[in-house]
């Protein structure tokens, strides 16, 4: 079973960039069958998919966040990363990294990291 672990600052100032990294173990990030996703959840609220990236760099984005998001993959470290630019208090959330399996052409998020809380505050 793959395991995913998020890392990054727990506090970011407004207007700055939120940066997180996900380290994957038990699976290769270069697998042909998976994308690697970011999902967030404001405290007490629902889940919001941010985007996902393939090891070759192909990406999908949440249309509402696309202008502020960038993602990258480091296959040598079996890691992928997320940047959210120009953050505001509305970006305060638990951030999860996850595996997005491709099954019969369909995307299905199956394995999740434990999540990390990122607060946006001055």
| Interface contacts to another protein, rule CB under 8 A | 37, 39, 46-49, 51-52, 60-63, 96, 100, 103-104, 106-115
What is the smallest separation between the CB atom of 45 and another protein, expressed in angstroms? Answer: 8
Q: How far apart are the C-alpha atoms of 25 and 47, rounded to whole Å?
A: 24
Residue 67: strand pairing partners: none
Q: Which is nearer to another protein, 90 or 122 (CB)?
A: 90
Nearest CA-CA partner of 98 in 17, 20, 42, 11: 20
Q: Which is nearer to another protein, 16 or 41 (CB)?
A: 41
What is the smallest separation between the CB atom of 36 and another protein, expressed in angstroms? Answer: 12
Q: Which is nearer to another protein, 38 or 55 (CB)?
A: 38
Q: Which is nearer to another protein, 15 or 114 (CB)?
A: 114
What is the smallest separation between the CB atom of 49 and another protein, expressed in angstroms? Answer: 4
What is the smallest separation between the CB atom of 84 and another protein, expressed in angstroms? Answer: 16
């Amino acid at each position: 079973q793959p395991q995913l672990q998020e890392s990054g600052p727990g506090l970011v100032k407004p207007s700055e960039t939120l940066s997180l990294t996900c380290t994957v173990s038990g699976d290769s990030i270069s697998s042909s069958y998976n994308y690697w996703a970011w999902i967030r959840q404001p405290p007490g609220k629902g889940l919001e998919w941010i985007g996902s990236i393939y090891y070759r760099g192909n990406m999908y984005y949440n249309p509402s966040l696309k202008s502020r998001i960038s993602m990258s993959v480091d296959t040598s470290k079996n890691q992928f990363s997320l940047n959210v630019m120009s953050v505001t208090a509305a970006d305060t959330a638990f951030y999860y990294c996850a595996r997005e399996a491709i099954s019969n052409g369909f995307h299905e998020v199956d394995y999740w990291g434990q999540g990390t809380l990122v607060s946006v505050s001055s």
